[in-house]
Structure 1
Amino acid sequence: MSLFYFICPDSHLPWSSSHRSSSNSTRGSDAVTFFIIQGLTSLGEKQIILFVILLLGYIIILGGNSMIIFVTLTDPKLSSPMYFFLSNLSFVDMSYTTTTIPKMLSSLLSDVTTISVPGCFIQMFFFVQLSVTARGILTIMAFDRYVAICNPLHYTSIMTQRVQLLLIAGAWGFSTFCTLPATIMTFCQPYCGPNVVRQGWCDPSSVRQLACADTSVDNIVSLSFVLVGLLNTGVLILTSYFLIGVSVLRMGVAQRLKAFKTCATHLTVVTISYTATSFVYISYRVGNFSPEDRNIVGLGNTVLSPFLNPMIYSLRNKELRDSIKRTLSRFRSAAVFPKKDINILTKNCN
């Protein structure tokens, strides 16, 4: 409680359930104590279908990304920096979807889903922060490919373990810098009117619309930091691949094919990630999109990249694919051999 007051001492938001009014869920007559997550509750009978699809997608996201993390940590053949960054990306993808999907699944099964005001802003912060972190890691992976292709002789001396950790820490620090100011500004607004969030989670734009004050400055600050996060990472990725392209033009045909195979997977993931995010921001600024359409577009952006990334890397990366096969074979062997040992002991006893 004291932390919230420290961040925003003048806020009129209540943080204790003891302040709730029994008539309209507000403290006294003005401040809301929780938000209602509307999400996709207007779909009617289609909600069950969407629930099943979303649940299966979430299970695949957790399973696929967990497998990538496990094999990169346990297989010595996947000890290169590229797989270290990939395992971090998988962890971020899992965390990113976990901030929203469980709540969305709950809202699809119940008529009314609520979230406390502090919980809403915590969800908002991590949802945006993890999204920017993922793009930061994609930028690091583009730089890693640049060093591997353009400076192969100095690759191991440049991409040391210390440099890898600093790059990952930089991605997390940059995402926090891009997320925290806008979240605090939105958090400090008074909320005294309707408390129904149109999205399936505490989306910043949807929550700001509920504030009982002028949020024009908040909108500008939020958009500015979004552009900083997206444009900076996008420009750095494009710059890395421009330099890679210049270097590849000087190579022979065989080296060009090898370089293309090395970069194709990452380029595919980057294209999907930035295209999905662009659709979200376009949907919020085009009047023809209904709230339901915006919810579906936002849901697609939340699920698409974390869902496809493990599949893309597993299908297009032979080393990773072989490592997953070896891991699954070890699991099968561990399940079969104990049974054989039990049969042998039974025969000996007889």
Structure 2
Amino acid sequence: MKDLNGTEHAVKEFYLVGVPGLQDRQNLLCILFLLLYVAVMAGNLLMLYLVLLDQRLHTPMYFFLCHLSVLDVLLSTLILPKMMAVFLLEDRLISFAGCFLQMYLILASGSTENIILLVMAYDRYVAIMKPLHYHLIINGKVCVVLTTVAWALGYMAPLLHVLDAMSLPYCGPNIVQYCYCDFSSVAILACADVTDVLKKAVVAAMCVVNIPLLLILGSYFIIILNIYSRSKEDSKKAFSTCASHLFIVSVYYFSADLLYITVVTGSMSADNRVIMGVLSYLLTPLLNPIVYSLRNKQIKQAAKKYLTFSCGSKCFCVN
């Protein structure tokens, strides 16, 4: 088998172990992750449904939030169905090309989510720091440009590193100590020195994670300084506007950085690293619709309007 660069591969498929050390508990893990998947899908699809239906939610903030929900649904779908097949159906084989495609899409979607979170922080920055000019700066055209750039950069970021890993010779073994095609777990199976490939990939990943994080923290630092110079009521309103996004950012980047640190230092057992890796991709998709809906009156009003499954006779009155 040859890849795009013409490298010969004896390995034509990979065998996914699942969670090393916890094979006897995979039924329990299957139930847990299935419940997480249902919750992620329900929450994010509901968010998309409400935003599409309610004209009051057709604003830049919800436009960006919709992109975040699409990424959350995509990430969960890239990871969990194959995990369910591994745990429940013992369907552990994945083709060589399919493995690297899954790897690329997971990394690319995660990178895009980083940039979308940065775009959302910029939106909040303009809304608080330049409220009178907000609609001139963040208009429909700008929203489309920002999200297009975010998706393009996100999907470009891991491409070269995945191609580098794919071009390595794979002659066996083909056993991946993970429940999906994780970059480092697959790359170490190559019949070559992968030190440089792994180092470059980790450095790139840390940059993709931490550069947006530093920019987001910088914007919130400026916002906080500005809030203290305002009235108590304005400060409360500004903080409420930022609180949901800041919470999601904190959870997302903390879990991502913790995962990369444990990979580099090797300070976590294989089974714990797998669980941590899966949860780092699922935690924010699970929390996003909950956090943004619980703190948002407009989302609650839209839910009351469009999610009334049974109602009184007034619902059917015709003028």
* Pairwise TM-score range, normalised by the shorter structure: over 0.9
Alignment of 1:42-53 (within 5 A): 42-53=21-32
> How far apart are residue 36 of structure 1 and its match?
0.4
Matched, 1:294 2:273: yes
Using structure 1 for the length normalisation, give the TM-score: 0.86
Q: Report whether the alignment pairs 1:271 with 2:250.
A: yes
Residue 206 (structure 2) pairs with residue 227 (structure 1): yes
> Does residue 121 of structure 1 match 2:127?
no
What is the 5 A alignment of 1:192-211?
192-211=171-190
Counterpart AA for 2:102: Q
* CA distance in 2: counterparts of 1:292 and 1:263, whole angstroms: 36
Q: Secondary structure in 2 aligned to 1:32? A: coil
- Secondary structure (helix, strand or coil) at the match of 1:202 reads coil
Q: What is the match of residue 151 of structure 2?
A: 172
SS of the aligned residue for 2:93 comes to strand
For residues 18-57 of structure 1, the aligned pairs below 5 Å read 31-40=10-19, 42-57=21-36
Q: In the alignment, is the contact (CA less than 8 A) between 2:209 and 2:257 conserved in 1?
A: no
Paired with 1:336 and 1:102, the residues of 2 have a C-alpha distance of 43
Q: Distance in 2 between matches of 1:88 and 1:104?
A: 24
- Cα distance change, pair 69–232 in 1 and its aligned pair in 2 (3 A): same
Number of equivalent positions: 318
1:151 match: 130
Instruction: Please report the TM-score for the alignment, with normalisation by the length of structure 2.
Output: 0.94
Alignment partner of 1:36: what SS? strand
- What corresponds to 1:88 in structure 2? 67
Q: Secondary structure of 1:100's match?
A: helix
Identify if the C-alpha distance between structure 1 residues 279 and 336 changes in structure 2 by more than 3 Å, giving closer, same or farther.
farther
SS state of the match for residue 115, structure 1? Answer: strand
* d(CA) in 1 for partners of 2:270, 2:97: 24
- Larger Rg, first or second structure (1 or 2): 1
Structure 1 residue 83 displacement after superposition: 0.5
Which letter does structure 2 place at the counterpart of 1:11?
A: T
Letter in structure 2 aligned against 1:292: D
Higher RCO (C-alpha 8 Å, min separation 6): 2
- Residue number in structure 2 paired with 1:326: 305
**Residue number among 6, 10, 15 corresponding to 1:10 in the alignment:** 6
Is residue 230 of structure 2 the alignment partner of residue 251 of structure 1?
yes
Residue 112 of structure 1: how far off its partner (Å): 5.2
> 2: CA distance between counterparts of 1:335 and 1:267?
43
Shift of 1:115: 0.4
Give the AA of the match of 1:33. Answer: K
Contact 2:118 2:212 (C-alpha < 8 Å) held by counterparts = yes
Give the CA deviation at 1:337: 7.1
**Aligned-partner Cα distance in 2 for 1:334–1:236:** 50
SS at match of 2:14: strand
Match of 1:347 in 2: none
Q: Which runs of 5+ in 2 are unaligned?
A: none
Query: Given the superposition, is the C-alpha separation of residues 260 and 201 from structure 1 closer, same or farther in structure 2, using an over 3 Å criterion?
Result: same
Say if 2:206 and 2:260, in contact at 8 Å, map to a contact too: no
**Percent sequence identity over matched residues?**
36
Is 1:38–1:112's contact at 8 Å kept on the other side of the alignment? no
* Amino acid in the other structure paired with 2:45: S
Secondary structure of the corresponding residue to residue 268 of structure 2: coil
